[in-house]
Structure 1
Amino acid sequence: MDKKDLNGNENLENNGTMEEELNTSEIINEEVEVAQVAAEEPVNTTKADSIPVMNKVGANNATPPTPPTAPRSNKAWMIASIVLAAALIIVLVVQKDDSKKAVATVNGTKITKEQLYDKLIEAGGESTLQSMITTELVDQEAKKANVTVTDEDINTELEDLKAQFGGEAAFNAALSQSSMTVDDLKKQMPLQVKLRKILEPQVTVTDDEIKEYYDTNKATFSEEEQVRASHILVETKEEADAILKQLKEGADFATLAKEKSSDTGSKDNGGDLDFFKRGDMVAEFSDVAFKLKVGETSDAVKSDYGYHIIKVTDHKDAKDYTLEEKKDEIRKTLVSQKVSALSSTWMSETTEKAKITNTLTDAKEDAAATAEPTASAAAGNESTK
């Protein structure tokens, strides 16, 4: 049972303000309109078959909390990546002379490549082509600025993304929900890395700004006491007692969890639940887990989900972070905020300077420009009657 199945963004409650500007994918969201629409639907990271032991007190029957706004840009980026990858086919699918070739038949009636192309263009061709134009513009500007993207850059970006989701489990759940792999996501990251590297030299962050940010968000720079534990969940006390007997005889906890636990969210990880705060668990579970010392195993613990055998594997004391400890993190956040604020203007100015042709939109603009004088003339004639 992975607590992030239901509370995947729990860690963001304390750090959401700190993390919300780290992702630079919003920089190109205006250019990827289809991603903006898709991002309005929050990603549900709940696994239907996972036991919700991590429900907060009094929320056993509640629906999963709506994710905070901080990771929306990340999810938008993931969704945009899928749309872009799929939609590239739209532009390329009919580039041969065999456009009249059938891609399907219905009772002998052909559906041609050309017809498919036209429908795909209607379904998202304009936004996809605009995304490709934006990508090309950024690539050209990155080349002028001698900006390159290394594997280390991509891995750093990936780690930032995981932090914004509240941990690797929630991040992986979001990837799964978007039908993506980490490799799929990595392929889309160079664009945002290039854009950040182009704009970062244009922004500055002062020590006064860092202190002001720390003072304003001081409450977020603290951590509650946390425990890391593994558990085995079974239906009856008899089953729990039998497992406890095996453990006392030297059986391996992780092995028994994989074999015996009914919690599908954690059993494959040997019952590991990662770190959690007291409020992340139902009271019966937390009360026992937070009393155990590292390495100790509980007796059978009853909750609404059955009987748990809990083993504490690590512990973190509560901590209030100082300005000095968070200075680099705050600086990074403020730089990202300023890059995001600058990006819209930069993108507009870069687009205006560029010589761009777009066959999917130019024809519409020309038609609109022709129709406008005609409409004006008609209005003038009407007023003289």
Structure 2
Amino acid sequence: MLSNLKTRKGMFILSGAVLAAATIILLGFNIFKDNAAAKVNGEMISKEELNQVLNDQYGEEVLDSLISEKLIEQEAKNKKITVADSEIKAELKTLQDSYGGADAFEEAMKSSGVSMDRVNKDLKTYILTRKILEPRINITDDEMKTYFEENKTSFEEGEQVKASHILVEDEKTANEIKDKLANGADFAELAKEYSTDTGSKDNGGDLGFFVKGEMVAEFEEAAFSMAVNEISAPIKTDYGYHIIKVVEKKAASEAKFDDHKDEIKETLLSEKMQSEYTTWLEEAKKDAEIKTY
């Protein structure tokens, strides 16, 4: 999943596989003994052989990425552009959410061999790049209105429900929790104590707002048919047994341009940034003194 790690708007960040290769190449294979990268039935594969293969496969791509990164750093320094830790944390949170949360993102990192230090460095580079490019990009109201009209249906909001739930493995436990709730127990506290849903239990089972199509059918059917503050009987799904509490409801609403201006501007900015990045990078390389060996 992280073989080509990207931010929410698609700005390229160095791939985990390429960076792993780069790390090995740049370290010079100091970890190997007796000049051996491996031995097969006593016959040695030398670190020079491995180095040559990695350079042949990844060398040009890695070097080009590092040159681009260096140009971005130099431009940011010249223009006194900086990135605060809070900006990196906010961008990381958005990236984690795009993978389904911090745990899912961490698993994807592990499977791809990408370190958190590398992710933070790439996010910093992305933010610097964005700050460099934004002044070069102009987005007009006419462009935003055109985009809105062409994509209006995607901005329309269907009926929404805000709910909390307690998920357990068996019906007996679910009924015990239901009885405790009937006797005045606090829903959020019971969620923290009993729920097996690690993504919501620490928040008292809060799932936030969702529309039809986001939840499994049995859960969704119950939630949308309930009244505000109503607590369900145990609902069985493939995940186990749910006790659902509906917290709030929002009726379907027609999309309005003014409500989505910031979102549209962000989308158009991201689209333009990708082409503008290519243009800027070509200009930067043309003006720079770059020697490769």
Please report how far the alpha carbon of residue 337 of structure 1 lies from its aligned counterpart in structure 2 after TM superposition: 2.1
1:176 matched to 2:107? yes
Write the distance in 1 (CA, Å) between the matches of 2:157 and 2:116. 29
Report the equivalent of 1:202: 136
1:135 alignment partner, one of 60, 66, 69: 69
Which residue does the alignment assign to 2:24?
90
Distance 2:126 2:37 in 1: 38
Whole-angstrom distance in 1 between the partners of 2:201 and 2:94: 28
Tell me the equivalent position of 2:153: 219
1:86 partner SS: helix
Q: Say how many residue pairs are matched.
A: 288
8 A contact 1:138–1:191 mirrored in 2: yes
CA drift at 1:135: 0.9
Say which SS state the counterpart of residue 290 (structure 1) adopts. helix
Structure 1 SS opposite 2:225:
coil
Q: Structure 2 matches for 1:1-385, cutoff 5 A?
A: 38-39=3-4, 73=10, 77=13, 80-83=14-17, 85-94=19-28, 101-102=34-35, 106=39, 113-158=47-92, 161=95, 165=98, 169-170=100-101, 173-179=104-110, 184-234=118-168, 236-257=170-191, 260-261=194-195, 266=200, 270-303=204-237, 306-359=240-293
Distance in 2 between residues matched to 1:232 and 1:104, nearest whole Å = 52
TM-score, normalised via structure 2 length = 0.77
Using a 3 Å threshold, how does the CA distance of structure 1 residues 118 and 332 change in structure 2: closer, same or farther?
Answer: same
2:104 is matched by which residue type in structure 1?
A
Partner deviation per Cα, 1:237-288 (whole Å, 9 max, x = no partner)? 4443222122233444345445544556655665443432222233332232
Q: CA RMSD in A?
A: 3.8
8 A contact 1:90–1:121 mirrored in 2: no
- Answer 1 or 2: higher relative contact order, Cα 8 Å, separation at least 6: 1
Report deviation, 1:208.
1.4
Distance 2:129 2:172 in 1: 60
CA distance 1:357–1:247, shift in 2 (3 Å): same
Which of these two proteins has the greater Rg computed from alpha carbons?
1
Inter-partner Cα distance in structure 2 for 1:99 and 1:259: 50
CA offsets, 1:199-257, max 9 Å, x none? 22222122211211111111122222222323234455444322212223344434544
Residue ranges of structure 1 left out of the alignment (5+ in a row): 1-34, 44-69, 360-385
**TM-score for both structures, normalised by structure 1:** 0.61
Q: Which runs of 5+ in 2 are unaligned?
A: none
